[in-house]
Amino acid sequence: MPNAFFSSVSVSAPVNVEPVRSLESVEVEQLTQEHLEAYWNQLLQEQADDEKFVALLADKKVELQNNNLFLIKVPNIYFDTLIREFQDRINSFFRKATNNEALQYKVAVEVLQRESVAYMPREKFDAMAQRNPAMYSLRKLFPDIDF
């Protein structure tokens, strides 16, 4: 029996399987930023019963990169792991809505620029001089005064 092998075949009831469509024959909607934002709001409305989904994505902005890619802007990289849980739901909604099976999203970290606070005298002077360049001429007139 060392050279024997076994195989099994299982037969099940026929399942309604959607036929494979050729991507060349599908009419794809030309996606615009306005359509993308409308679809995004529609997705959030349809998923209103899922509190975690809505809380995670409600305040996020979307930006169209090209017809097959859009960005979901998040404040830090941790959101990427949180959004990954809903990846299939997001992709299937947008692919069905736009009839574009190649449509994908990426999570982009949006770094907000903070205004620097001046603490030292030199930093304070530079901040004032940026708002009012006449400060430089005052400093030349009165070199002994520390601004």
Same domain for 87 and 146, yes or no, is no
The CA-atom distances, in angstroms, between 40 and each of 34, 76, 92, 131, 142 are 10, 20, 13, 40, 59
Residues 6+ apart with CB under 8 A from 137: none
Same domain for 143 and 96, yes or no, is no
Per-residue pLDDT of the chain (147 residues; tens, 9 = 90+): 566 665 655 556 566 666 655 555 567 668 889 999 999 999 999 999 999 999 999 999 999 998 889 999 999 889 999 999 999 999 999 999 999 898 999 999 987 777 778 788 888 888 888 899 888 888 888 888 776
Same domain for 101 and 130, yes or no, is no
Range of the domain at 44: 33-109
**Cut 0.75: pTM above it:** no
